[in-house]
Chain A
Amino acid sequence: MAFEGVCHLLANLVEYCNSSETSYDFAEDEAFNSEIEMSNFMDANIHVRDAIFDKYSKGYAPESHMGEGSSSLVHASTSLHDFDEGIFKAEDNPDCLRSRWQLEAYLNQQADILEKDPSLVPLNSFNATMSQLQALAPELHRVQFLQYLNALTHDDYIAALDNLHRYFDYSAGMQGIFSRSSSSFQDIIVGKYESALLCLGNLHCYFGHPKKALEAFTEAVRVSQMNNDDSCLAYILGAISNLLSKIGMSSTIGTIGSPYSLGNNIGLGTPLSIQQQLLVLLKRSLKRADTLKLTSLVSFDHLSLAKFDLKHVQRPLVSFGPNAYTKLRTCPADVCKNLRLSSHVLTDFGVDGLSASSDNGSFSTSWLRNLSAASNSWCSSSTKSRKVLTNDFDNFHFHAQPSPIPAAVLQLAGSAYLLRATAWEHYGSAPMVRMNSLVYATCFADAASSSELSLAYVKLIQHLAAFKGYSAAFSALKLAEEKFPSTANSHIQLLKMQLLHERALHRGQLKIAQQICDEFGVLSSSVSGVDIELKTEASLRHARTLLAAKQFSQAANVANSLFSTCYKYNMQVENANVLLLLAEIHKNSDNAVLGLPYALASQSFCKSFNLDLLEASATLTLAELWLALGSTHAKRALSLACQSLPMILGHGGMELRARAHIVLAKCHLSDPKFKVTEDPCSVLDPLNQAVEDLQVLEYHEMAAEAYYLKALVYNNLGKLDEREEAAASFREHTIALENPYNEADSLSY
């Protein structure tokens, strides 16, 4: 029995089997990997702070197609895994210890594990097992595929390539066992070729060879067009758009264009920008997938579109004439629509699925009958044990049963929630971020891969850090580290560094901050154009550290070069961030006039990308800058600060809130018309609130400022006792800032 049968089965399980040829199944399967991969990647990627995840999100994803299979073969796989001979003896042929389907199930299970947490699988021992298996059962080609995946997750390029080649070379002619009458030998060979190319493209994509990947994809497109292989084409389009979104963002890379000239495909003479190409590809892939009813691909395409809409302005392809109206803003409602559509993959599961599977007749294969017949007798006992094993959501008595919904579908449905959380991070709605991550962590914990789940955890912990302070965040982080013990889990690692860095900055422990910054820099790959998000964050943090160290010109230099990088790679959202940072740098270096244009630019960026919270903080910075220009501008500063208040107080973290409160108080105090004695509350209230928040954050510098202002106010009011109290607190914080205590413990928590 060859892997084709399995692939075939897999494909059916995921409802891909609209085509009547075996050959597609693999292609679909593989493309599906890329889907998952992409969706994961996407979530990770968007998240500004978690830039590093490229590798891991790519890494675990390819396995998922096998994982899909395993969910339906659970009985088999668990039983095999347990090596519980007792269960089998009754039905099994005693001569043959493990039947083929058991082996398949074992492979599926391994794939599942690989997919859930690649770091759990040691490279070499796994390979050894696989080689052994292969020696025993040379006709099991999937073993090679598993090896390929394993190599992929462990970043072994050569082994991965080798195994992939071997897999396709060996298996190409072996499909005969389960081939249906409809598919001729030739078809299968050809179909295999496309799938192989697709896999190869994904491999290259994963290892960051966009040129080679594109070549493979282009070839795949050519072949599948030649063979009228529509569904494969849809998947390839999806894969290409994934490639584009991942690495094609830099207009200078220039890999696209020549080999696969999209411009010609569309019939427009003008070359399109990368984003436009991406959009066109996505839309086309979506259309194809829609007509072919590839629900998972549809869902994936919707997710990608949502991701695209989140960060990019959709420009019309053709716009001329006076009436061509271009709205230069992103459209959040589209994001929402796409996300909703993408989660239809779950609600619409099986709408016409059963009929599709019957067309293929795959469930009627004797193979599967054997499986179910054998599994039935011990089904009841097994389900009981299963309850304990899996499904930590929904084991609400009915649902603990093996679900016909494959994990892949659940993952897709779940990524919609993760992407929602990310989108709300951008748009500025803290409770929505929390809620969506929480829904993900609650509902999809069973299906999610460790990387995705840890991303949800990361978002939750970040929320905690921003709203409850560091101690809560660190205790949660500890739990998350227990849950994801592998040191390689980049999300958690990165989060830890972020939190430590921020805390060090707040406490004024600059050396530690710098140390963490350096670690950040090491994390990213040295190849240009790879790990861009991570690099961006690293230099952003570097600039922040410099700013805190009052090395303004260096900070400005870093920020400027960062800006040009972001500009080069068309990362508009990050641009807004960098511009704001530049404005801050100028503000702190007493160069308010220079800072104004940066703040304004950042504000307008935020407006057009609907980054409400960032816009509010840009407005706040603007207010600070005006305030720095002298007391004549106090009124303007006040009005700006007030504008930003609803957003900041509603959705900003504690630091931002405290800052806003202090700015508000300062605006009042520097307004020559304002008399403290008349309205002490309008100054003291915000200051008290700010102090409250800053205490939790241990943000000494700002706390000192707040206490200073408080002391001033009390002095004006003639309340001497309170004044002394505030002054003492001020002193405390200043001392703490100047003598950062016990540096050793600052890296622990």
Chain B
Amino acid sequence: QAKYKERGTVLAEDQLAQMSKQLDMFKTNLEEFASKHKQEIRKNPAFRVQFQDMCATIGVDPLASGKGFWSEMLGVGDFYYELGVQIIEVCLALKHRNGGLITLEELHQQVLKGRGKFAQDVSQDDLLRAIKKLKVLGNGFGIIPVGGTYLIQSVPAELNMDHTVVLQLAEKKGFVTVSEIKSSLKWETERAKQVLEHLLKEGMAWLDEQAPEEPQYWLPALFTELYSQEITPEEAKEAIP
């Protein structure tokens, strides 16, 4: 049996040993880098973006594990994982208001409020990266591009291309009507109604039947007036199981 430990495996063993050595060296390089530039990463969001992009290009995910070198030595892990917790809390607290859809702007504002005055500032890019990591928990977190920004989904509701496109249409005014959908997207009435009904059922849209010409479907996620409204104590309790 031992005879069949072929040359291939011996080579793999050698390479493993080599990798182990190189890993130690890399760790030292990273430590050096951290001692010089750790603060830069902490304080400079543009540098953070550059760092993340370069990692992605070479096929490395610095946020994959809290046990990774990047996280341990540069402290990037804790920053994003904690942000993940804060994002989850805000989304849970506001879910009953907006059905689980929230603009990146509002999320950003609420997270900043929650973090308090003495915490480190976070950028929208930081939020997006944290959210991308949260998806793996099976909670339905998703990022939907609308207008020049994004809607963040935080519930496991199915939103397909049709839903997304209607959300994008609604972004301009905060609401949308069946006629608008038909004229902009060239859909049949039935298709437009199906999409709108789905959004209503999920609590992501509210129906205003009193509107002058025809019923309007409003998206609470897009109501700017709600933005600066504080999270109430009842809502905060929802957020912490």
Q: Do A and B come from one complex?
A: no
Which residues of A are interface residues toward B (Cβ below 8 A)?
none
Which residues of B are interface residues toward A (Cβ below 8 A)?
none
